């Protein structure tokens, strides 16, 4: 399982990178716009913070394949490193993916709501496909089952594409995606943090420290008793 952060907030990225095994950062136009800052400066700041090797997924704007291809070329030139250009699975997006794949650009197919969208994107050359779990659940769909069917289709057809499940509002959704064998998730730092939360973990840790300090003294640890 790869954990990615779905945010462009530098403070959040720093904190989560410090604590968790994070493989990269994903953004979309909404996430970037929320930061209300210069686009390129923000993306380059994220790149410099996470390093050249970490995955950085940035979405191309545009409704035509020409616009999307031009955006992707711009991003490749300006951002560099381990960059994945996110392209929505509209027909012009699929056309752009075919062209960009030939030019060696790594691709994340996005705005995916059905297994067939994911399958076609994978055949067109997407390295990752990003199904939106919570947005599907919100309209009485079953987001995690869609992830499961995509994983199944990729196995069935021997496709190398990976599922980067996105749009999460609960630990339960992440858990179900994991059970379905989703290869990666991208979520807000808040959800990533919630994955570790359990009151019994906290009380157990406190109990261990209390018991230890009761015998060895307050503030004592193994290396200084
Ligand atoms: C990922 O590709 C999407 O941009 C993002 O995760 C959507 O998440 P949201 O539904 O919480 O906005």
Q: Render pLDDT for 21-77 as a digit per residue (tens, 0 to 9).
A: 999 999 999 999 999 999 999 999 999 999 999 999 999 999 999 999 999 999 999
Q: How far apart (Å, rounded) are the C-alpha atoms in residues 214 and 191? A: 35
Dig out the tokens for 33 from the structure: 């716009």
Q: Is 86 a catalytic residue?
A: yes
pTM of the model: 0.96
Q: Whose CA is nearest to atom 4 of ligand 1?
A: 28
Q: Whose CA is nearest to atom 12 of ligand 1?
A: 167
Q: Each residue of 77-119: pLDDT tens digit?
A: 999 899 999 999 999 999 999 999 999 999 999 999 999 999 9
Taking alpha carbons only, the member of 202, 206, 126, 134 closest to residue 162 is 126
Task: Please list the residue range(s) of the chain that carry CATH number 3.20.20.70.
Answer: 2-194
Q: Which CATH class is domain 2-194?
A: alpha beta
Ligand 1 atom at minimal distance to the Cα of residue 134: 10
């Amino acid at each position: 399982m790869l954990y990615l952060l779905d945010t462009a907030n530098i403070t959040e990225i720093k904190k989560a990178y410090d604590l968790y095994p994070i493989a990269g950062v994903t953004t979309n136009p909404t996430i970037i716009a929320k930061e209300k800052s210069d686009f390129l400066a923000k993306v380059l700041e994220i790149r410099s913070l996470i390093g050249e090797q970490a995955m950085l997924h940035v979405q191309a704007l545009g409704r035509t394949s020409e616009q999307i291809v031009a955006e992707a070329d711009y991003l490749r030139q300006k951002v560099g490193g381990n960059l994945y250009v996110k392209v929505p699975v509209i027909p012009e997006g699929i056309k752009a993916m075919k062209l960009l794949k030939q030019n060696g650009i790594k691709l994340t197919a996005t705005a995916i709501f059905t297994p067939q969208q994911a399958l076609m994107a994978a055949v067109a050359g997407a390295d990752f496909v990003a199904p939106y779990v919570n947005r599907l659940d919100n309209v009485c769909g079953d987001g995690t089952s869609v992830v499961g069917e995509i994983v199944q289709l990729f196995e069935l057809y021997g496709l190398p594409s990976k599922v980067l499940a996105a749009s999460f509002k609960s630990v339960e959704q992440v858990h179900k995606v994991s059970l379905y064998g989703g290869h990666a998730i991208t979520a807000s730092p808040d959800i990533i943090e919630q994955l570790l939360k359990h009151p019994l973990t906290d009380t157990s840790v406190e109990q261990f420290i209390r018991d230890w300090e009761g015998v060895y003294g307050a503030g004592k640890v193994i290396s200084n008793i």
